Structure 1
Amino acid sequence: MADSDIDQRLVVLRRQYLQLFEPDFLAWPPLKLLKNADVQAWLYKNLFDAGRLPHLPPPPYQIRVLELLMAKIEKAIEDPKQDEVSHTLVSHLGSLKANKLSPEQDPAQQNSYVTFTCPKERSDEPESTITILERRYLISGSKTTGFRTWEGALHLGAYLLSRRGQDIIRGKKILELGAGTGFLAILCGKQLAAKHVTTTDGDKGVVEALKENLELNGLDEEKVQAMPLWWGDDLKGTWVERECQTEPYDVVIGADITYEPGAIRALVATLRQLFDLRPGLSVIIAGVVRNAHTYETFRHECCKYLAHATMRKQWLINFAVASGFILEEVNFRAKSIREQSSLFYAAAVPVKILNITRANDKKVGNNEK
């Protein structure tokens, strides 16, 4: 099957599969299409062939998807003399089951390759991907959430990849807080033409894993560097202060970093120090509002009262001003799963993006220090 003949529904299925999207919610093409022999050959080649795909999903995930796929093909077959399930698919499923991991191994502790496909502005552009080694089956609220890419990072990534968002990063020096897997840092360094990215996390184990993901995506320290940073610590005399003096940041980003109530005060204290070190800084933070109280706690810590709503450039922005901070809620709608063709994430729970600046600070320019 030539690339020009590929049904886009197959392309979406492949992207979801490589991102380890929940098999029960994959966007399966019509059964009539799946039973086609050429389509089955394409599916094996682009979803399961280890010779072509160096970063395949883990075997248990492949098994689940293969079983669903084969069940759908069998359901579509009306005449077994004309159509059948590909022998290659059947053989591959048998091999996977024969080498299946022991049940004693905890899936939440297993590292898996997850490949994210970035949205394209034009259909003729080549496909751009980011591959992350992460623990896909961690649950929200665990103590090791930094080993998984969460919805807030994907939503912020989608915003930064939009026409509105690209100018925020292009040619700028970026500091990331609570980087986790490094998805956003890699996106900024690999896709969005950031001048330089310093990505940080307070967990040393996460920082080491983050370095592996940077290397996996061909990024060296000249472009993106990973460093430990503990919120609330005094930044005077640290590498952060030195960077602010020699290569000052233009933008601070963070995603899914406001979910823990106990860490919010330390996070805001770090933001205040960064504004002191770099007047004119712009901060962009995104997160899933799983708990409305926690979200409001973060807003309250940044500001003591809420002001009014206004219109700016046709986008509705709620903003609050206090203690020198200006909080603007960016109106960027999360697409439903059916609308998504890349960077797949659930949008059932609200995902917010906040743009934070400090009142009376002079806006940072590209070349201003």
Structure 2
Amino acid sequence: MDIARAELGPLVVKFYRQYMQQINDVTYPSGALLVNPDVQECLYRYFFDASRNKYLPPPKYQARILKHIISEIEKACKDPEEDQVSDLLMEHMGFLAAIPQQDQFEEAQQPHVHSYFPPLPLDQFGVQPILIKEAQNLLSRGNNVGLRTWEAAQHLAWYLMTVRPDLVKGKNVLELGAGTGFLSLLCAGELDARHVLATDGLAHVCESLQVNVDLNKENNTLHGHDAPLVQQLDWTDHQELEQILEDAREKSIQYDLVIGADITYHPEILRPLAELLKTLSELYPGLTILISSTIRNLHTFSQFTDICEKDLGFRITNLVCTIPDGLRYSGFFHSVATEIKIVSLSR
């Protein structure tokens, strides 16, 4: 469904994009706008009518958002004869309230489809989201870290979309530690890469990644482009790496861009990662390498850059990615409360 065609204004379109991504801190339109009966009818149609949208947020999230909408409408009502909350919204609130509450732990394990709209103009028609099935509230530790989309991936996505789309268009892209596949799907679809290979070191993460690739193929969100290929790659497994390189040779693929987001979090994997990047940079002259990391532990990230720079001869360049305020912040919504660095590696 293309909410831009409803001509409700940019505030409502931004609200919708945030809602479909299921972020916590959405930007609500004013009560003065929400009280309009036509706006309320459109809100029900786009935000809550499951017969029109099969990937709506889960009931608990819907209920939290709808409760706030109703409260804002009620506060904005000046004439009881004219102003009121629509029957459709009130009936849906009653429906949501009647759904039995899940155990919080069980609820956190339950995956849902999140719609990540790219930061394109809010009045642009036909903007397609990247669909990612994930459990965002899953306790992310050990083997679970690849099963949700992290802020560093969205930050790098913003950079590629708004600053350097030329790094992807028509290029061959390899993603390391692809997790949910969010970045690979962006490169393959919206950014028009020639070829994308999404890799991860864990078999069950690759299975989940393939689910997301298939989900986007089935829903035609890739703009007619080829979907990313998925392959397992443990950075210490030379046989897996050689298979990937052999496949590239057979297809005459020379990789132009290597990307990775939130892949420098564990000290034990820093040197294998850096050495893999060295191998790739030697095989593919002119290769661009972009690494995006949320700086939860500055020592770990500094350890990675030191290995790359002092031991392996890489040049490290810090890239600037500034997220704007207001309506210019129109997609890939993520927190930058914790610093996120994007670095370019070259030799």
- Pair in the same fold by TM > 0.5: yes
Contact between 1:196 and 1:224, CA under 8 Å: does it hold in 2? yes
Query: What corresponds to 1:119 in structure 2?
Result: 119
Query: What corresponds to 1:154 in structure 2?
Result: 154
Given the alignment of the two structures, is residue 350 of structure 1 paired with residue 339 of structure 2, yes or no?
yes
CA positional deviation for 1:139? 4.8
* Letter paired with 1:227: Q
Q: 1:149 to 1:86 in 2, by over 3 A?
A: same
CA positional deviation for 1:237? 7.3
RMSD: 2.4
Query: What corresponds to 2:71 in structure 1?
Result: 71
* Residue pairs, 1:1-369, within 5 angstroms: 3=5, 5-22=7-24, 25-103=25-103, 105-120=105-120, 123-124=123-124, 126-139=126-139, 141=141, 143-162=143-162, 164-218=163-217, 223-235=227-239, 238-246=242-250, 247-304=253-310, 323-336=312-325, 339-358=328-347
> Which deviates more from structure 2 when the two are superposed, residues 128-137 or residues 169-178?
128-137
Query: What corresponds to 1:366 in structure 2?
Result: none
Query: What corresponds to 1:317 in structure 2?
Result: none
Identity over aligned pairs, percent? 38
More helix by share: 2
Q: 1:7 to 1:209 in 2, by over 3 A?
A: same
CA distance in 1, matches of 2:105, 2:124: 43
CA distance in 1, matches of 2:122, 2:33: 26
CA positional deviation for 1:336? 4.6
CA positional deviation for 1:106? 2.2
> Which deviates more from structure 2 when the two are superposed, residues 199-208 or residues 121-130?
121-130
* CA deviation profile, 1:194-223 (whole Å, cap 9, x unmatched): 111010111211111111111111169954
Gaps of 5+ in 1: 305-321, 359-369
Query: What corresponds to 1:308 in structure 2?
Result: none
> Which deviates more from structure 2 when the two are superposed, residues 198-207 or residues 337-346?
337-346
Contact between 1:235 and 1:273, CA under 8 Å: does it hold in 2? no
Larger RCO of the pair (alpha carbons < 8 Å, separation 6+): 2
> Which deviates more from structure 2 when the two are superposed, residues 11-20 or residues 344-353?
344-353
Contact between 2:4 and 2:123, CA under 8 Å: does it hold in 1? no
* Letter paired with 2:14: V
Contact between 2:172 and 2:195, CA under 8 Å: does it hold in 1? yes
CA distance in 2, matches of 1:207, 1:267: 18
* Letter paired with 1:10: V
> Aligned pair count?
338
CA distance in 2, matches of 1:209, 1:234: 24
CA distance in 1, matches of 2:309, 2:96: 54
CA distance in 2, matches of 1:236, 1:103: 40
Q: So what's the TM-score if we normalise by structure 2?
A: 0.90
Secondary structure in 1 matching 2:238: coil
> Which deviates more from structure 2 when the two are superposed, residues 45-54 or residues 133-142?
133-142
Q: So what's the TM-score if we normalise by structure 1?
A: 0.85
CA positional deviation for 1:121? 6.2
Q: 1:14 to 1:2 in 2, by over 3 A?
A: closer
CA distance in 1, matches of 2:153, 2:4: 34
Gaps of 5+ in 2: none
* Letter paired with 1:205: H
